[in-house]
Each structure stands twice: as structure tokens, then as C-alpha cells.
Amino acid sequence: MIWHITKRELYDNLNSLRFALTTVLLLGLMLTNAVSHLREHPKRIQKYNEAVIKSLDGLASHTDDSLYMLAQQGPGMLYKKPSPLYFCAEGGEHLLPDVVEGGSPFGYSDNLRGVWKLKYPDANINMKRVGPDVTKADWAFVIGYVLSLIALLFTFDAVSSERESGTLRLMLANSVPRHTVLIGKFLGALISVSIPFTLAVLLNLVLISTSSVVHLDTEAWGRLGIIFFTAFLYTCLFLALGLLISTRVQRSAVSLVILLLVWVTFVVFMPSTLASIASEFSPSISSEPRWKRHNEIQDELWTKYDKWLWTNRTEKETLTAKSEFFTKDAEAEERLNREGLTEKVAQVQYARAITRVSPATLLQHLLESFAGTGFERHLQFVENTQRYARQLREFVADTDKSDPESLHIIGVREGMTKKKILPETVPKFEDTLDFNKDFNTRAMELLLLALFVIVLLSGAYLAFVRAEV
Amino acid sequence: MIGTLIRRETLDNLMTFRFAAAVFIMLLLVVANTFVLITDYERRLASHNEAVKMHQRQLQEKITYSAGAVRVDRPPNPLSIFNVGFDKRLGNEVRISHGSVPSLWDANMHESANPFMDMFASMDIVFIFEVILSLLALIFAYNAFAGEYESGTLRLVLTHAIGRGEILVAKYISAMLCLIVPLLMSLLLATILLTTSASISLNNNDFLRIGGIIFTSIAYLSVFYLIGLLISAATRRTSTALMSSMFIWGFLVLVYPNVILTVTPRPEAPDALRTSAFNQIESIWDTFDRERKHYLATDDFPGEDWGYELKGWGSRGAYFLDNARTLSYTYRSTMDFEGFGEEDEPKMPHAQKHFGFLGAQTIDAADRTWLIRKPTLEEIFIQPANMERIWLKLSPVGLYDAATQAWAGTDLLGIRDFFHDARQYRQSVISYFYDNKVFESRQWFSGDKGAADWSGLPQFSFQRDDININAKRAIPDVCLLLMINVVLFIIIFLIFVKSEV
């Protein structure tokens, strides 16, 4: 019986104006998305490759010189790898920095130079851009805004119009349980929305995967699968909402007005308004106390090591003191850099947590994570660089240890091995994405979305069971 | 007769659920957001005041003229609450120096506490209107004709001796009356909230600007109402009219403004132009450098050191600064001495004469650089941006946004006025320097015989233009909106007159 009702709904929808308009709109949007991605992505990849080659060249030249130079200069710039799924969610990538600096040892004087440390650039605000602001027409936009609106347009009159025309009474006069009717309607609407959406997605993916500039591997396809599933869930949410309101309200016009206002509030306004409110309430951040602490630590180090620093003697005590001074100074600065970042990240995380009330934000977060863009991805990248920094430091220490002639004092030329190191043995930074980790961190949001759907669906069910026809 | 019609229509509209919903949602969103926006504005104002104080302090601390950096700050615009435009995005502090002419591309931003927070889109009142007003207008319009066709009341009305034009006008006026109520209510509430906030002081011109924004909002509202009427008259069935309205709304408000710029061809970066302009600028400064060296070689003092081998207590530095991307190029020499030994005294007159020469030369080179830089920057940055803006204006949403930005003074031109004022301020600083012979003075490089006196420096204050300028910038877009109104009205009239009932 469910299947009969679904089929009837489906035929009704397929012949309707809204189905035609939806198909045109979604196909147009996805086509635009694919074309612009194919235009932009090669540039992004090229920029990344050039930057990485330059950075690796620097690393090779330090390695060529000596282990000391490597220990002093560090790995140089570490770049974030652009995701091939950029077209799914832009995720504010243009604002997030794509690099972590691992270099710039502090020069205390001409012949006294410290060791490298990690430095995290701030978000880049482009003050030179005088053009209008635009959001990217990525999948997150198409699904988050357009598809949700379409889902509402397919369900706002599902029950109310039948009630108006009296067919509902007719149908229920047969021995059809009410939940069957509701599920049939839900499935009918879901299938009719899915057809144009799936078509549009397929068109988009065909265009992108057949071009030679973008390579999608198995993992990327897995991610796309999850993104598609998320979109499905999100659509279900709005379909359920549409059914709920449609059942509760006597007239379809009223139902549409309510739905549109709810949609506008939750999808368009909530995300940014809530973020603004959250940023009002979170404690303000100031870099001043951090700088004060930085200066204190440095003063302390200076007084402790001052007597050894300005001599050129090469006995072990002086060298060890110098090495300790360099390492401690770099460590302290790196820690302060990390704390600064953590503080800012905490504020953003707080705002992001609050905006999760809106399903549109939930979807945005999910899509960002699975597309490998956005804020969480940036944090993962930062973590990768930190892991790499440890790895490189360990490598330097181990290589030095393997040479018995060396004094094993890192950061001072006289204290380290003079042996040549093979450039191949030096670990290289590679930015990776961890699918499992993404899935684990996002599982909660996925479940929250599913929970919304279930709550709304059961709400619709209860409303329909109790409704008078 | 038309009076009766208007009364009937107005009552019909007022009694509906959609009217109540419209009032409720508009008030809720506008008031909630105004609170947030006012807090945000207050924070920006506080940070502006802090920056002004800090810059003044930093300037006062410098004991020589050459070491002092005069900076001016752009205050946040209180009307950015209505349309934020570029107010938060473009630089808000710029250095005034005799060696370079300040422009938008030399500006910096006060340190923001957490730039990552900019990831969240900011929202202003005009954005709320863009989305909600258009939606409400369509909801009010979709069954204006289609509903009456279906129920047959239109036929009934037309049996009376009444023109079809009158019916159309009556419908238009009554619906607009109903729609203006929530619009005015929410805008008035927002204005009341603005005036009660202690940190915001609005003057007469600001109220006139808000008036301009209200007028533009009404024109925008009317465009969407007429679009709805057109659909309603053309389709003749309520459900079709509703569906078409919603999809047209989605396209005009949601899709077009966000998608159009990714579709349109991006203008190629005019690299050749940039390079040639930069070469010209470089040659200006090469000439400057040659003349500088020539002076040092030929003056009475032996040696070619620009610092005249002064060995005092303090610091000195001289360097060229350039940026090929923004075409900036300047020469900076700073000397910050607290005192000198006996042997330096005879060198002083030579040094003073040299700095007098150098000051005039630098100003001349900077002015000539600006002559090349200005048109090139215009072509590289402004013109492509203007092209993008024209694309956006093909939708009424873009027109409305542009017009309200112009009224609020947060459009690009409004922001550029600040830099225009900054350039004028640079001129007055330079003439102050000339009048007081600052370049030739000993305080230019040394504070030992009295520190530099910064108190006489002319004060900078940025006055926003009077309302006429805003009006002049907004009028074209407002006129276009009105024109769309008239055209739509005529089309609807034609369709309605010719239609069979």
C-alpha cells in the first residue's frame, strides 16, 4: 500500500511545474559549480606545487650544507595541500592561512643565531580587494540553501491541499492506516526531490572526473558518498518539517508562509546572528599578556646564559650553554605561538558550537570536514605540521647521535656532526587527510542531524494521527 | 469607487495570517540583529579610539621629526548598521608621510583581536530586508489576481462600472500600505535603538540618509510586489503562481547574486600595465637617488655619507620601500639622536642643509609617483571591481544593496573619501613642515636642542560628506529601481486589460 501512495505522489510531482523548475535550477547550479572548479583548481594546485618545490629546495640546500644548518634553519614553509573536493565546500578557505612557518631562527647578532620554531600566521584579511563580496556556489550552498528550500516547496501542501480538496478524507475512508499515508507521502516527495538532485550531482561529477586536471581517488569517492548521504539526510529533515507544518495547518498558503519564515530564520539568519552573539559573549583576546610573558622568559634566559653567549670559546661548557639557550628560547616562543593560536581557535570553536542549532550550519560543518576544507581541516593541518616538527627534530638528534665524533650539542656548529647527510633520509613534510578521524569527529554532528530528522518525522506522524480530516 | 476598493483590499490583507507573520518576523529579526550590530559597532568604535590614542602617544614619544610617523584612522560609520558595505573590510589606518601619497592600498587595519572570527558572515539590516521583504512581497502578491480569477470575484467586481486600471491601482496601493507597515515599524525601532545607544550620535544628515534608505527599501519592496503581481496576472492559477514566485525569488535573491560572479569571465590581470607603471615609478626614484648622491658628492662636506658621519647617541636608518603589487615606492630616512659629541657640531649645518634639500626632493618624487600610480591603480583594481558590481546590479537585489550602501556612505566611494581627506591632510602637514622649516631644523634628526614639537601639527578629522554627495551616488540606482517599477506596472496593466475574466 505504501508503494501505491508513493507512486501516486511521484507521478503527481513528476508532472508538476516545481519538478521542472527544480531540475533546471539544480542542473544549472551544479554545472556552474563544476565549470568554475575546473577553471580554478589547476591554478590552486600549481600554486601549491610551486610553493612546495621552493620550500623543499630550501630544505635540500640546508641539508647539503650540514646537519647544523638543518638544525638551525628548519624545514621552511609548510604548505596545506588543497583538497580535490574543494567544489563541495569552500569553507572559508580564502580566509584561512595555507601555510605554517617552520624557520626564521632569531638572529641575536651577526654570528649568534638561534634555532627554528613553528609560527602560525593569522587569518588573512584581504584589505586590497575592492570588489563585492561573494559566496562560492559550492555544494554546501546548493544543498544548504537551494535544496532545503526546494524540499519545503515539495511538501508544504502535501497534506493541507488534500484536506482542502477533500481527497484526504476519500483516501482515509479506505482501509489505509494513517502512517502508511504519511510514509508514502514522505517517500514520494523524497524520491521526487532526489531525482533532479542526483541528476545534477551526476552531471557535476561526470564533468569533474572526466577532466584531466582533477584526480579523484578512492578515498575521495568515499568522501563524496558520505557527502551525498548527508545531503540526503538534510533533505529528509526539511521534508519532514514540511509534512509536520502541512499537517498541523488547515490551509496550504498558511503552511507555506510558516515554512518560509522558519526556513529563513534557521537557514539564512541563525548561523551568522548566533556567531555574532557568541563572539560578543566570549572573553576578548589580547596578545599583550602573552608578549609580557614572552619578554619575562627571555629576560630570564638572558641573565642565566649571558656570560657564555658572547664568547667564541669552543669548550664544551660554552657550547652546551649556547645550545640550551637557543633551544629554550625557541621552545618558549613556539609554545607562546601555540597558545595564541589555541586561544583564538577556542573562541571560534565556541561560536561554531553555538551555531550548530541551525541545521544549515550542521550541514556546512559536515560537508567541510568530508570535503577536506574549512576550519577543522586547518586545525588538522596545523597538527600535521607539529607532528612533522617533532619528527624532524628527532631526526636531527638521531643523526647526530650516530656519529661518535660529534659532541652531540644541537644548535651550535662546533657541537654537531660534520658528516654529510643524505638528502633522501631527511623526512619531508606531507600534508595528509585522515578519513577515519574526520568521520569520528563528525559522527556526533551526523547523529544530531539524524536526530533532528527523527524528531520531526515523529512529530509529523503524531500530528497526522491526531489530525481531524 | 477606488476608495472603496482600496479599503476592501487593505482590510483583506490586514486580516490575514501572513500580515501578522510579516510583522512578527520583521520585528524579531531586525530588533535582535540591531542589538548585535550596535554592540559590534561600539566595539569597533572603542578599538578606533584606542588606536587614535596609541598613534598620538607613539608620535609624542618621538623626539625627532624624521622618526615620527603620523597616522590617521578612519572611524567606523554608524550607518554601517544598516549596510556594512566596505566599512569593516578595507583598511582603517594609513600613514601620512611626506615621502608617499597615501591611498586605499597603503592602508592597514588595526589589529583585530581574532581575525579567524571573520569567517562568520556578518549581517546587516539591509541584508535582512533583501531576503525578507522580497519574500513577503511575493507572498502578498501571488494570489492577488490568480485568487480572484479562481474564486470568480474578479468577474463580479468588473460588472460594476469600474476601470481595470483602477482595480490594479487599488490592489497595488492597498498591498503596499500593508507591506510598508512592518518595514517602517522595524526600521523605526532600529533607529530608536540607535539613538538610545550612548556611543552613537546621529546628526540631521544621518537621519536624512536613513530616510534615503527607507525610500530605497520601499522601491525595492515595490519591485518584488510587482513581480509577484505580474506572475499572478499571467498564470491565472494560485498554485502555479505560488510555485513560480518562489522559484523566481530563489533565483533572484539566492542564486543570482551568489553565482553570477563565478560565471562571468574574470578580467585578466593587467600585468603589462602594472609592470610598465612600476618601471616608470622606479625610474622616478632612480633619478631621485642619483640627485641625492650627486648632492652628497658635490656639497661642501667631504664624503658621501647621508648621515654626515654624525656619531651621537641614537639610531639612524635609510632605505627604499617598494611593493610592485600595489605600486608603492618610497624613500625613508630616519635619524633619532639624543645628543652629540663635540666633534659633530661643525657637521650640523651641512646635515641640516642636506635634509632640507632631501625633504623637498622626496616630496617632489612622491607627488610625481602619485601621478602615475593613481590612474594605474584605478585601472588595475577599481575597474574590474566596478565591472563585477555592474553584473550584480542586473538583479534588483544588487541595485538595492548598492543604493543603500551609497546612502549609508559605506560604499567604495565613501571609503575612498577618507583617503582623499588623508591626502589633503598630507598636503597641510607638508605645508606646516615648510612653514616652520622643519626639514632644515635640527629637530629633524636630533632631540638634543629641544625635542620635536608635535603640538603645532594640523589636526586631522574625517568629515563624512554631506547628504548631497550620498544622494548623488545613490540616485542612479534608485532611479533604476523606480524604472523597473514603472516598466513592470505597465506590463501588468497591459496583461490585465487584455485578459479575459
What ipTM was predicted for this assembly?
0.89
Q: Which DSSP string corresponds to A307-325?
A: HHHT----SHHHHHHHHHH
* B128 domain residue, yes or no: yes
Q: Say if residues A231 and A140 touch (Cβ distance below 8 Å).
A: no
CA distance B211 to chain A (A): 24
Q: Which domain holds residue B31?
A: 2-42+122-255+476-498
Q: In this structure, are B63 and B164 located in the same domain? A: no
* pLDDT per residue as tens digits for the range A38-79: 988 998 899 999 999 999 998 888 888 888 888 888 888 899
One pLDDT digit (tens) per residue for chain A, 469 residues: 788 889 988 998 888 889 999 999 999 999 999 998 998 899 889 999 999 999 999 888 888 888 888 888 888 889 998 888 889 998 888 888 888 988 878 877 777 788 888 888 887 766 677 777 777 788 999 999 999 999 999 999 888 888 888 888 888 888 888 888 888 999 999 999 999 999 999 999 999 999 888 888 888 899 999 999 999 999 999 999 999 999 998 888 889 889 999 999 999 888 888 888 887 777 777 778 888 888 888 888 888 888 777 777 778 888 888 888 888 888 888 888 898 889 889 888 888 888 888 999 999 999 998 998 888 889 999 999 999 999 998 998 888 888 888 888 887 877 788 888 888 888 888 888 888 888 888 888 899 999 999 999 999 999 988 887 7
DSSP state of A282: S
Are the Cβ atoms of B242 and A253 closer than 8 angstroms? Answer: yes
- Put simply, the answer to whether A127 touches B112 (Cβ < 8 Å) is no
Asked, for residue B261, whether it belongs to a domain, the answer is: no
B250/A16 CB distance under 8 A: no
Same domain, residue pair B38 and B132: yes
* Burial category of A176 from C-beta neighbours within 10 Å (exposed 0-12, middle 13-18, buried 19 and up): middle
Q: Which residues of B touch A375 (CB under 8 A)?
A: 116, 119
The position carrying cell 642636506 is B354
DSSP letter assigned to residue A198: H
Query: B233 and B495 in contact (C-beta within 8 Å)?
Result: yes
> Do the Cβ atoms of A280 and B113 come within 8 Å?
no
**Distance (Å) of CA B369 to CA B278, B281, B372:** 9, 6, 5
Identify the burial level of B269 via C-beta atoms within 10 angstroms of its C-beta, where 0-12 means exposed, 13-18 middle and 19 or more buried: exposed
In a domain, B260, yes or no: no
How far does chain B reach from its first CA to its final CA, in angstroms?
A: 20
Beta-carbon contacts below 8 Å between A and B? 168
**Residue among A351, A348, A399 nearest A375 (CA):** A348
Total of domains in chain B:
2
* Model pLDDT for residues A159-195, shown as the tens digit of each residue: 888 888 888 888 888 888 888 888 899 999 999 999 9
B425 and B319 inside one domain: yes
Which of A40, A130, A350 has the most B C-beta neighbours within 10 Å, making it the best mutation to test the interface with B? A130
**Mutation for B interface: A276, A355, A373, most B CBs within 10 A:** A276
Do A130 and B117 make contact, defined as CB atoms within 8 angstroms? no
Pair B444, B483 in one domain? no
Is there a domain that residue B232 lies in?
Answer: yes
pLDDT by 10s per residue, chain B, length 501: 788 888 888 888 888 888 898 889 899 999 989 988 998 898 889 889 999 999 999 998 888 888 888 999 999 999 999 998 888 888 888 999 988 999 988 888 876 677 788 778 778 899 999 999 999 999 999 888 888 888 888 888 778 778 888 888 988 999 999 999 999 999 999 999 998 888 888 888 889 999 999 999 999 999 999 999 999 988 878 888 988 999 999 999 999 988 888 887 766 667 888 899 999 999 999 999 999 888 888 887 777 777 777 777 888 888 898 888 888 999 988 888 888 877 778 888 888 888 888 889 999 999 999 999 999 988 888 888 888 899 999 999 999 999 999 999 999 999 999 999 999 999 999 999 999 888 888 888 888 777 788 888 888 888 877 888 999 999 999 999 999 999 999 999 999 888 876
Residues 6+ apart with CB under 8 A from B346: none
Both B283 and B250 in one domain: the answer is no
Same structural domain, B349 and B461: yes
Residues A36, A432: Cα–Cα separation, whole Å:
25
The structure's pTM equals: 0.90
Contacts of B21 in chain A (CB under 8 A): 257-258, 261
Alpha carbon distance B404, B213 (integer Å): 5
Write out chain A residues lying below 8 Å of B120, CB-based.
271-272, 275-276, 279, 351, 355
Q: Is residue B377 located within the same domain as residue B465?
A: yes
Q: Which residues of B touch A158 (CB under 8 A)?
A: none
* Cross-chain residue pair A347–B116, CB shorter than 8 Å: yes
The DSSP H or E segment spanning B89 is none
Residue of A nearest to B401 (CA): A132
Query: Nearest CA to B153 among B1, B12, B3?
Result: B12
Say whether both B212 and B341 belong to one domain: no
Q: Kindly identify which residue of chain B lies nearest to residue A31, measuring between CA atoms.
A: B263
B106 and B127 both lie in a single domain: no
Task: Determine whether the interchain pair B121/A32 forms a contact, defined as Cβ–Cβ distance below 8 Å.
Answer: no
Q: Do B142 and B220 lie in a common domain?
A: yes
Which of A127, A137, A284 faces B109 most closely, judged by CB atoms? A127
A260 vs B139: CB contact, 8 Å cut-off?
A: yes
Nearest CA in chain A to B128: A269
Closest chain A C-alpha to B478 CA, distance in angstroms: 19
